Amino acid sequence: MKKYHLVLCSVFLLCLACNSNKKTSLLNNRNNQEVVPEIVKTYFIESDSIQIIPNKTHSIILYLSESPTSAANPTSHCKFVIFDIKLNQVLLQDNYSNSLIKWYDTNSLLLTRFFGIIETPLSSSIKYYLINIYTKEINEINSDIINQQLK
């Protein structure tokens, strides 16, 4: 009987841990084809799991696919498409290895690049860049600014 309660509690805690309040959607392109615009689908392959991440005004969507690392493939890979809902067009698309991408503000993405071996979050092997989605300019920003925001 004790094992039954332990299993039941474990399942309950697992369900709670998986429940998130984020406004990010995760979908597999095969199952929810109508959610992703046709023009955006052309940048991904059918097996990609796509995260749908709107900016603060919900006028522009970041479609993001990240490949996880493993012992066989220690290099992660992310590809993304920025889609303007009002203009119904792709503003930017790109892909990076060993990187993370997320919204920085309404018109900019924060690209975090990992070079070499990462020892700590304050490591010098981490570089930060801002990508303006309209001008496509990529500017490196001081890691002190990002590290202050993380504290």
Whether residue 13 is contained in a domain is answered as no
Task: Band the pLDDT of 84: cuts 50, 70, 90.
Answer: very high
DSSP 106: T
Distance separating alpha carbons of residues 50 and 71, to the nearest angstrom? 23
Mean predicted lDDT score pLDDT of the chain: 78
Domain total in the chain: 1
Instruction: Indicate which CATH number applies to the domain containing 89.
Output: 2.40.128
- Per residue in 100-114, pLDDT (tens digit) is 999 999 999 999 998
pTM comes to 0.71
What does residue 14 show for φ and ψ, rounded to 5 degrees? -65, -40
Residue 115, pLDDT above cutoff 80: yes
Question: Residue 142: its pLDDT value, please?
Answer: 85
For residue 60, give its domain range: 21-150
Question: Residue 144: its pLDDT value, please?
Answer: 73
- Cα end-to-end distance, the chain, whole Å: 45
Location of structure tokens 């504290």: 151
